[in-house]
Structure 1
Amino acid sequence: MEVDEWHAPRVLLTVDLVILTLRGSRLHVLLVRRGIEPYQGEMALPGGFLRDAEEGIAEAAHRELAEEAGLDAASLHLERSGVYDDPGRDPRDRVISVAYLAIAPRLPEPVAGTDAAGACWTPVDDVLTGHVKLAFDHRQIVEDGVERARAKLECSSLATAFCGETFTISDLQQVYEAVWGIRLDPRNFYRKVQQVQDFIIAAGPLRKTEHGRPARLFRAGPGRALHPSMLRPAAPVTEEGDDDER
């Protein structure tokens, strides 16, 4: 009996980049406006196909970030955050995407290039609520990336990177609120932060707040992993707490 010769299926590989930063008091994600089909004119994550068989996946991620948004990926810590392989996710062909995540402070305005018609920072809430529509399955990739970033704030000292050299507990709380997307009780937050070993260290004199009350100043401590972790509350607060200790 003859056996049909087996042929490997045609599968293409892309990278998609979830780049997050804080602008004002809101978490933003980097998006580009597609300049080519499919989904021409629609918003999407920066990314694209591997250039050739010699290019590594991480190398492609760095290249696409520079080409599509004009950002220097060498200054970011890109970590692989997921693989997306639904057979119908791309109308062009069978395409598998490897997603990368970076969350960093003080990122510059992006500059569109190559096949992107525009690039901008967009509030994450606008994407998660569907107010801003994304091409392909990029909304799911953003959702997964944001959840991963939120988890990083629970177990690492990443939040201090978004504060100045010295900061108040209130400043730090605002970072957690922006990334987690919830309001926190000031007293509970203060108590939790003080329980974490080597997270923050007292620094300098008191600083006056807009309410006229002095606030203690801190700087980032030597710890990178938080012990115990800063776990998200089961439910956000509904009323303002007392901020005397902030």
Structure 2
Amino acid sequence: MQKYTGETRVLVATDCIIFGFDGWKIKLLLVQRNIEPEKGRWSLMGGFMKPTETPDDAANRVLEHRTGLKNVYMDQLKVFGQPDRDPVERTLSIAYYALIDIHKYEKQLNDEHHAEWFLIDEMPDLIFDHNEMVKMARKQLMYKAALHPILFQLLPEKFTIPQLQALYEGVYQTEFDDRNFSRKLLSTGLLIKLAEKDKLSSKKGAFYYKLDQTHYTENFEKFLNIVPNPDKFF
């Protein structure tokens, strides 16, 4: 087999940044690294790409092997390639990210590699440049959530405004004024109020809503007025 002569071989890895929503909080899935260096420290789900794989194939294989999760749609984030990012060998990493409903995947998750969900503001310090990957993925997630209807895909068919507010606060890592958030949300005209209430969260209860699926997709930009400081995402 012919090879390029005089060239140095470089390893290629994939790292998976998996955010999850549990109904009220955004969390990050991490595993404990099982090889040196940095054995035992918390890490993203990473592994090397095989010669016969595409980057997408490798990312999905690595994620399933390290956590048990499969059929997770991930977006490619960026190639991380600082020469000293891996202290062992010259390694490029193609990072992927996703935001999933934790409850839909909890039965798939195994504990072979001690995979664990962490609240975003309580995550431990990670190996190599994984902290930078997470920071960039969070920013990209904010951008994507502003332009695409991904957040509503994480909610049940009927939901309360406090649930939706918690989801927005988790993604954008900020607090919204309750009344102002509710006013902006209802002003979109894309929510249908139901007669029943959620009585578990408070004595008074919160009305359930559902999306107006008929007009939702083509009018999703109306939700942009909820996004804090949208100019910094565009």
What number of residue pairs does the alignment pair up?
A: 217
Structure 2 contact 185–226 (Cα < 8 Å) conserved = no
Indicate how the Cα distance of structure 1 residues 78 and 17 shifts in structure 2: closer, same or farther if over 3 A, else same: same
How much does 1:152 deviate? 2.4
Query: Secondary structure of the equivalent of 2:191?
Result: strand
Which structure is larger by alpha-carbon Rg, 1 or 2? Answer: 1
1:150 aligns with 142
User: Which runs of 5 or more residues in structure 2 are unaligned?
Assistant: 230-234
The reply on whether 1:219 has 2:210 as its aligned counterpart is yes
- Distance in 2 of aligned mates of 1:208 and 1:24: 14
- Distance in 1 of aligned mates of 2:198 and 2:80: 49
How much does 1:218 deviate? 1.5
How much does 1:211 deviate? 4.0
Query: Secondary structure of the equivalent of 1:86?
Result: coil
1:99 aligns with 95
How much does 1:184 deviate? 0.2
Return the structure number with greater helix share.
2
- Distance in 2 of aligned mates of 1:40 and 1:208: 45
Q: Percent identity?
A: 28
What TM-score do the two structures reach when normalised by structure 1? 0.79
Which residue, 136, 150, 158 being the options, matches 1:166?
158
2:65 aligns with 67
- Distance in 1 of aligned mates of 2:226 and 2:156: 23
Amino acid aligned to 2:17: V
- Distance in 2 of aligned mates of 1:204 and 1:23: 23
Indicate how the Cα distance of structure 1 residues 125 and 208 shifts in structure 2: closer, same or farther if over 3 A, else same: closer
What TM-score do the two structures reach when normalised by structure 2? 0.83
Structural RMSD (CA): 2.2
2:18 aligns with 19
The reply on whether 1:233 has 2:223 as its aligned counterpart is no
- Distance in 1 of aligned mates of 2:65 and 2:198: 44
Indicate how the Cα distance of structure 1 residues 171 and 86 shifts in structure 2: closer, same or farther if over 3 A, else same: same
Which residue, 111, 120, 123 being the options, matches 1:124?
120
Amino acid aligned to 1:167: F
Indicate how the Cα distance of structure 1 residues 191 and 37 shifts in structure 2: closer, same or farther if over 3 A, else same: same
- Distance in 2 of aligned mates of 1:202 and 1:89: 50
2:195 aligns with 205
Deviation string for 1:24-46 (max 9, x for gaps)?
63211111101111211111000
How much does 1:207 deviate? 1.6
Amino acid aligned to 1:134: L
